[in-house]
Chain A
Amino acid sequence: MHELSLMEAVREQALEQAQRHGARCIEVIHLRIGRLAGVEPEALQWAFALVMAGSLAATARLQIETVPARCHCSVCQSSFEAEAGTCRCPRCGTASNRLLQGRELELTSLEIH
Chain B
Amino acid sequence: MPQHGSRSAAVRSTPPLRQLHSLNCCPPSVCATCPCATDPPPAAPAGSRRLTLGQALLQRNDQQAAALRRRFHQAGLPVLNLLSSPGSGKTALLERLGAAMRRRGLRLAVIVGDLATDRDARRLEAAGVAAVPITTGQACHLEAAMVARALQRLPLPLERLDLLVIENVGNLVCPAAFDLGESLRVVLLSVCEGEDKPLKYPSSFHSADLVLLGKSDLAGVVGFDRAQALAHLEAVAPGAAVREVSARSVVGLEALLEWLLRPREPRGWERRGWGVVGQRGMAMGGAPNDGADRDGQARGNTQGRGARRDAEGMGYGADPGAGRGTEELGGPDRGSVG
The answer to whether B26 and A100 touch across the interface, beta carbons within 8 angstroms, is yes
User: What secondary structure prevails in chain A residues at the interface with B?
Assistant: mixed
Number of interface residues of A (CB under 8 A): 63
The answer to whether B280 and A61 touch across the interface, beta carbons within 8 angstroms, is no
Residues of B with C-beta under 8 A to A42: 12
The answer to whether B202 and A86 touch across the interface, beta carbons within 8 angstroms, is yes
> B50 in the interface, Cβ–Cβ < 8 Å?
yes
Most buried by A among B2, B34, B281: B2
Residues of B with C-beta under 8 A to A63: 10, 13
CB distance from B251 to the nearest CB of A (A): 28
Q: For residues 111 through 152 of chain B, which have their beta carbon under 8 Å from a beta carbon of chain A?
A: 139-141
Chain B, Cβ-Cβ closest to A23: B49
Task: Determine which of A72, A106, A107, A113 lies in contact with B30 in the assembled complex, contact meaning CB atoms within 8 Å.
Answer: A72
Chain B, Cβ-Cβ closest to A58: B2
The answer to whether A79 and B57 touch across the interface, beta carbons within 8 angstroms, is no
> B311 in the interface, Cβ–Cβ < 8 Å?
no
Residues of A with C-beta under 8 A to B199: 84-86
Residues of B with C-beta under 8 A to A1: 140, 174
CB distance from A38 to the nearest CB of B (A): 4
Task: Determine which of B2, B204, B234, B277 lies in contact with A99 in the assembled complex, contact meaning CB atoms within 8 Å.
Answer: B277
Give residues in B with beta carbon < 8 Å to A. 1-4, 6-7, 10-15, 17, 20, 22, 25-27, 29-30, 33-34, 41, 44, 47-60, 139-141, 173-174, 176-177, 199, 202-206, 234-236, 238-239, 273-277, 279-283, 288, 290, 320
